[in-house]
Amino acid sequence: MTTLQDCRARDAADPLRTLRDLFTIPEGVVYLDGNSLGVMPAAAPARIAAAVTEEWGTQLIRAWNSAGWFDLPQRLGDRLARLVGAQPGELVCTDSTSVNLFKVLSAALKIAGEDAPQRRLVVSERSNFPTDLYIAEGLCRERSYRLQLVDAPEQVAALLPQTAVLMLTHVNYRTGAMHDMAAMSAAAHAAGALAVWDLAHSAGAVPLDLNGHGADFAVGCGYKYLNGGPGAPAFVWVHPRHAQRFWQPLSGWWGHAAPFAFTPDYQPAPGIARYLCGTQPILSLTGLECGLDTVLAAEPLGGMAALRAKSLALTDLFIALVEERCAGHGLALVTPRDHAQRGSQVCLSRSEGAYAIVQALIARGVIGDYRAGDAQMPDILRFGFTPLYLGFEDVWNSVDHLREVLVSEEWRRLEFNQKNAVT
Ligand SMILES: Cc1ncc(COP(=O)(O)O)c(C=O)c1O
């Protein structure tokens, strides 16, 4: 049996515990939603204020050069590349994940169309995050491809001979289940298909090796585990073998080889810069820079490998404590127990009251979230574990509150059963 004292001892021995000081966490809050919106880096308010008052306020338009605004998407991309197994010059921070997915899927379909025109399928999972499916559906309609959804990863293999692009999200947003990127990319390549990856729940959460694991294209979120702030710019990575082959269709002037030549015709910039579109949101990129600083601050302490080891220890502990202390209350573990198949979140399903239980926990300061179930799965209580700012005592406290909410049936109160617009 794990005790509160055990958890405190693990925190005291944790070499990453000082990283929590890089964040502003409200008193009394245990934040288990960094998989949706990361905690604010303590440096962000002053840094963003400086970008406003010093850079915008005094340097005005000169700041595009003097404050380095112009190449901020590339500079941040080079730093983020270190976290995802990419090289400098292969990645830019820009636009949203949805928009970046449109760009890379367009490029992938164009390449596949030239190399293997008889392949007409884009294959993905029914359980993928809806924006990915919506973007793919739109593009497939436009380009006369068919979006084929599978219910289980094992069904992918049979479709690969007709597949142009395999489009997967590395860590599933609802279940926390993680794909083997190397194996799935290799299977796609062996069959002659391209592999597009969404890293929304992976970047900053699990070690990644885009080049080593055979990805062709990747996109991901800046506001989740990268702590970039609400609506922070996302990122886009293209394997160097593809980067020069096609200009993505959102061919705005920021992706031009010489934007300030103002020529009437489009000449794509070399490499990943052509994946930029229009003028970049500098204040939001500044927030993302603060977020990246927090993840990169782990580098001297073992980097992504150390963060991953702690994340698994936190999620293992959470699972064990829920099973020890909340048994008999109708919770079922949805997230895989196998470390190789688990992202940095734990999802529990419950046939009744999942939304209200999450609301009752939030009222107690334990912030997780809820995702609706479907025909295959009851409603889900979702808890994300960001090892940068969470400790083992936080895990203990969160399960303690969960137990109290369940035992007292506090969640039945009317106020916890009224749904907000954003769940
Ligand atoms: C897998 C995945 N892709 C994309 C998104 C969101 O994309 P966007 O930032 O464009 O809204 C999410 C949001 O949770 C997600 O989980």
Decide: helix, strand or coil at residue 394: helix
pLDDT given for residue 420 in this prediction: 81
Q: Which CATH entry fits the domain spanning 4-16+302-417: 1.10.580.10, 3.30.1330.20, 3.40.50.1000, 3.90.1150.10?
A: 3.90.1150.10
What separation in Å is there between the alpha carbon of 321 and the centre of ligand 1? 30
What separation in Å is there between the alpha carbon of 403 and the centre of ligand 1? 31
Residue 95 CB–ligand 1 contact under 6 Å: no
pLDDT given for residue 374 in this prediction: 87
274, 242 Cβ separation under 8 angstroms: no
pLDDT given for residue 1 in this prediction: 86
Sequence ranges of the domains in the chain: 4-16+302-417, 47-296
Tokens of 4: 């509160």
Q: Which helix (H) or strand (E) holds 357?
A: helix 354-363
DSSP secondary structure letter of residue 418: S
pLDDT given for residue 246 in this prediction: 87
What separation in Å is there between the alpha carbon of 326 and the centre of ligand 1? 31
pLDDT tens readout for residues 248-260:
999 999 999 999 9
Low-confidence ranges of the chain (pLDDT < 70): none
pLDDT given for residue 375 in this prediction: 84
DSSP secondary structure letter of residue 56: I
Model-level pTM? 0.97
Catalytically active residues are 129, 198, 223-224, 382
d(CA 358, CA 375): 21
Domain 47-296 matching CATH 3.40.640.10: the answer reads yes
Residue 94 CB–ligand 1 contact under 6 Å: no
pLDDT given for residue 376 in this prediction: 84
Decide: helix, strand or coil at residue 171: strand
DSSP secondary structure letter of residue 417: G
Residue 97 CB–ligand 1 contact under 6 Å: yes
pLDDT given for residue 350 in this prediction: 97
Mutate which of 96, 129, 135 to test ligand 1's pocket (most atoms within 8 Å of Cβ)?
129
d(CA 271, CA 345): 34
Instruction: Give residue 94's identity as a one-letter amino acid code.
Output: T
Tokens of 55: 């850079």
Residue by residue, what is the 3-state secondary structure of 90-132? Answer: CEEEECCHHHHHHHHHHHHHHHHHHHCCCCCEEEEECCCCHHH
- CA-based nearest residue to 34, from 290, 363, 298, 311: 311
Q: Which residues contact 373 (CB under 8 A, 6 or more apart)?
A: 349, 354, 379, 380
Instruction: Give residue 229's identity as a one-letter amino acid code.
Output: G
Ligand 1 nearest atom to the CA of residue 224, by list position: 14
208, 239 Cβ separation under 8 angstroms: no
